[in-house]
Amino acid sequence: MIELEQAIALVTGALSPQIDSELVPLAQASGRVTACALKAPLAVPNFVRSAMDGYAVYATDVVRASPEQPRRLTVLGTIYAGDHMSYTPRMGTAVRVMTGAAIPPGYDAVVKQELTDQGQAVVQIYQPIKAGKNLMPIGEDIISGQVVFEPYTYLNGDSVGILASLGYTTVPVLQRLRVGLIATGNELVIPGQPLAPNQIYNSTIYSLAAYIERTGGQVVLQTICQDNPAELMALLTQNKQKADLFITTGGISVGAKDFIPATLTANGGQPLFHFVNLRPGTPIFAANWQHKLILSLSGNPFAAMVNFHLFYWPLLVRFQRNEHFNLKKQTARLVAGKMPATSMRRFVRAKLTGTEVVIDKKGHYASVLHNMIDNNCLIEQIKGKSLQVGDQVTVYSWPD
């Protein structure tokens, strides 16, 4: 049995970082990772524009302006955002401008309309203004040619807006991690089919698929496999080209039908580990088979989810070359609930709000998933220690 950190290092070492990219429409780029440096093809803004509704002026014209002795300027006209107007600025004049309007070259400041009499043909200015005030110079936001996103940057909603401001319509991003999901067990039935006596619905794999599809990954195969070595090998062989990673559930403990480790080993797989010092999900197994990583999770639904969260996110970090995908680790105070001392390092389902965490009163069996409703994290429980109200605990929550 090896330690969790060692096991994670073995699987992440066995998965090569992504090198393939694809172009996705801008609207789908949020949640993806840039495949190369993205440069600005233009400056933002790419003309001098007004930051206020007011009057473009020469600052030197209004140095002595005051409410008692306003400076009167001739208004040459009005420019709205988007207008293409040509005025010939000269000293002693102003142009009425709206926020976002292009400022005719020459004027060097915009006086807010509240500091004027808002005159039409002639405006009275009540205050002096510094040159440069209330106007946005070319490139104030982004300079033309600058690298806006380095390679392997995680793109969020803000990033997509920045790319839109630069006119991008498609974005080169790393391809997602292609995951093949195989739930093993003769007792499993697809939801929608009738259950024969002593059968159960295949449930775990739907949670796994949902997490995978949520960010960074893509489910390319989702199927049930009987406890049958030939069927497993046929499934892997048929789908080998489609997937970067296979995740299986069940069939890894010491039961007579726990066939996965032996089957993979007998068919040329190189085991990386079997059994890790954690609970639940102790029997987790991993192997390299024909240059594919196979991660075999425990069958018990909650044990499978613990295995998944602890191993999958670090794999995604490695593959997508970005820490965004990692579990978020933080310290929190246990404010309700408790757990008796554990004989093994353990991960306990809990609900985290800010820096406070609560352990549910319901059962904590590995075979039970339903009380994950409302839970959003795992508390790490150290071997030999109990968890009590007031404890400072280490908490892991999944990436967005």
At its nearest, how many Å lie between ligand LQZAQKY5 and the CB of residue 296?
A: 8
Rounded CA separation 281/249 (Å) = 11
Rounded CA separation 395/10 (Å) = 23
Helices (H) and strands (E) in the chain, counts: 6, 24
Q: In sequence order, what are the residues at sequence separation of 6 or more whose Cβ sits closer than 8 angstroms to the Cβ of residue 99?
A: 50, 51, 52, 53, 81
Binding residues for ligand MOO, total number by CB under 6 A? 8
Selection from ligand MOO, ligand LQZAQKY5, none that 183 binds (CB < 5 to 8 A by kind) is ligand LQZAQKY5
Q: In sequence order, what are the residues at sequence separation of 6 or more whose Cβ sits closer than 8 angstroms to the Cβ of residue 318?
A: 12, 15, 17
Closer Cβ to ligand LQZAQKY5, 19 or 373, answer by number: 373
Which one of the spans 142-150, 240-248, 262-270, 273-281 is the region binding ligand MOO (CB under 6 A)?
273-281
Closer Cβ to ligand MOO, 34 or 300, answer by number: 300
Binding ligand LQZAQKY5 by CB under 6 A: which of 30, 298, 320, 381? Answer: 298
Question: In this structure, what DSSP letter does residue 91 have?
Answer: T
The reply on whether position 300 binds ligand MOO by CB under 6 A is: yes
**H helices of the chain, where?**
4-13, 157-165, 204-214, 229-239, 260-266, 301-320
Which one of the spans 33-41, 131-139, 276-284, 389-397 is the region binding ligand MOO (CB under 6 A)?
276-284
The structure tokens 């940057």 sit at 153
Rounded CA separation 195/201 (Å) = 8
Q: Are 221 and 181 in contact (CB under 8 A)?
A: yes
The reply on whether position 346 binds ligand MOO by CB under 6 A is: no
The reply on whether position 279 binds ligand MOO by CB under 6 A is: yes
Q: What SS3 class is residue 279?
A: strand
- CB closest to ligand LQZAQKY5, residue no: 299
The amino acid at residue 246 is F
The reply on whether position 180 binds ligand MOO by CB under 6 A is: no
The reply on whether position 378 binds ligand MOO by CB under 6 A is: no
At its nearest, how many Å lie between ligand LQZAQKY5 and the CB of residue 310?
A: 14
What residues does 287 pair with on adjacent strands?
A: 271, 294
Binding residues for ligand LQZAQKY5, total number by CB under 6 A? 28
Binding ligand LQZAQKY5 by CB under 6 A: which of 31, 104, 119, 299? Answer: 299
Show contacts with ligand LQZAQKY5 in window 346-385 (CB under 6 A): 366-367
Q: Give 117-121's long-range contacts (Cβ < 8 A, gap of 24+).
A: 117/70, 119/75, 120/75, 120/96, 121/74, 121/75
**HSE-CB for 388 with a 13 A CA cutoff:** 4
Which one of the spans 115-123, 148-156, 180-188, 311-319 is the region binding ligand LQZAQKY5 (CB under 6 A)?
180-188
Q: Are 186 and 257 in contact (CB under 8 A)?
A: yes
Q: In sequence order, what are the residues at sequence separation of 6 or more whose Cβ sits closer than 8 angstroms to the Cβ of residue 378?
A: 306, 309, 310, 347, 348, 349, 350, 395, 396, 397
Binding ligand MOO by CB under 6 A: which of 11, 295, 303, 369? Answer: 303
Closer Cβ to ligand MOO, 47 or 365, answer by number: 365
The reply on whether position 282 binds ligand MOO by CB under 6 A is: yes
Closer Cβ to ligand LQZAQKY5, 27 or 262, answer by number: 262
Selection from ligand LQZAQKY5, ligand MOO, none that 200 binds (CB < 5 to 8 A by kind) is ligand LQZAQKY5
At its nearest, how many Å lie between ligand MOO and the CB of residue 333?
A: 27
The reply on whether position 249 binds ligand LQZAQKY5 by CB under 6 A is: yes
At its nearest, how many Å lie between ligand MOO and the CB of residue 244?
A: 26
At its nearest, how many Å lie between ligand LQZAQKY5 and the CB of residue 13?
A: 24
Q: In sequence order, what are the residues at sequence separation of 6 or more whose Cβ sits closer than 8 angstroms to the Cβ of residue 28?
A: none
Rounded CA separation 38/41 (Å) = 9
Binding ligand MOO by CB under 6 A: which of 280, 301, 314, 337? Answer: 280
In the complex, the residues that contact ligand MOO under the rule CB under 6 A are 279-282, 298, 300, 303, 366
In the complex, the residues that contact ligand LQZAQKY5 under the rule CB under 6 A are 183, 185, 187-188, 200, 202-205, 249-255, 258, 280-283, 298-301, 303, 366-367
